[in-house]
Structure 1
């Protein structure tokens, strides 16, 4: 059950790296609309990483992007058809790839991956700043 005041955006996608800029603009527009302007840069980076992982590792371009905001913060979920869960590895800073989940895990307040009947949900959370905490 969704908590009172929850707002949500959901989009079914066929992941194409050429469309990442459009998706980042959509994410930014919703976060600004919801008054969470400070999250636009980190959320855009994290969504790009999640979609890149679908493109490279899921075996299918089909996925679903969900943005959800509530009094406790913002949650972003990317669901795909692959049962393989993401792994955070110590990055090789000289390699051309392989740093995404490390950077993502260092940027968000929480993240996880949950197996589903159809594949998996990979989610990230940015928690709302609490009183006495800098935003």
Structure 2
């Protein structure tokens, strides 16, 4: 459920209280924005994977379903940021072929050629990634 939205020419921000059943809807909403922005070739696929992974991780690991999802257009690149209320930082591990879980961030890291990161804020953390041509400043 989106409780607040901010739309500007080159950015969108939603403050969300997530439910697992809503994650596919967020994929569609974000996909529509990325298509509208005419992002770089291949960016939409990585954005959709990344949004799905980060929102799913909020539900699985943050301990609080409230988060903020921000999309920013920088030229033809798209920068995605998810802010949650957990100070627990993600870890990108190379998954063992027999692992059932743990591939999402690893796969995203490779799809965005390492252009991702996170930082702690007073209320939790922000995780970002960038798709398309490398922007000067991903934050």
- TM-score tier, shorter chain, comes to 0.7 to 0.9
- Show the counterpart of 1:24: 27
**Gap regions ≥5 residues in structure 1:** 130-135
SS at match of 2:95: coil
Aligned residues of 1:20 and 1:48 also touching (Cα < 8 A): yes
SS at match of 1:79: strand
Distance 2:128 2:96 in 1: 24
Aligned residues of 2:42 and 2:132 also touching (Cα < 8 A): no
SS at match of 1:31: helix
Alignment match of 1:62 (pick from 61, 66, 70): 66
- Show the counterpart of 1:118: 123
Distance 2:42 2:107 in 1: 18
Gap change, CA 1:44 and 1:72, over 3 Å in 2: closer
Aligned residues of 2:67 and 2:83 also touching (Cα < 8 A): yes
* Displaced runs of 4 or more, over 3 A: none
**Residue 64 (structure 1) shift:** 0.4
SS at match of 1:60: coil
SS at match of 1:76: strand
Aligned residues of 1:13 and 1:62 also touching (Cα < 8 A): yes
Q: Which moved more, 1:20-29 or 1:87-96?
A: 87-96
**Residue 33 (structure 1) shift:** 0.6
- Show the counterpart of 1:47: 51
**TM-score, normalised with respect to structure 2:** 0.83
Aligned residues of 2:69 and 2:81 also touching (Cα < 8 A): yes
* Pairing 1:81–2:82 present: no
Distance 2:59 2:22 in 1: 12
- Show the counterpart of 1:10: 13
* Pairing 1:106–2:103 present: no
Count the aligned residue pairs: 125
Compute the RMSD of aligned alpha carbons: 1.8
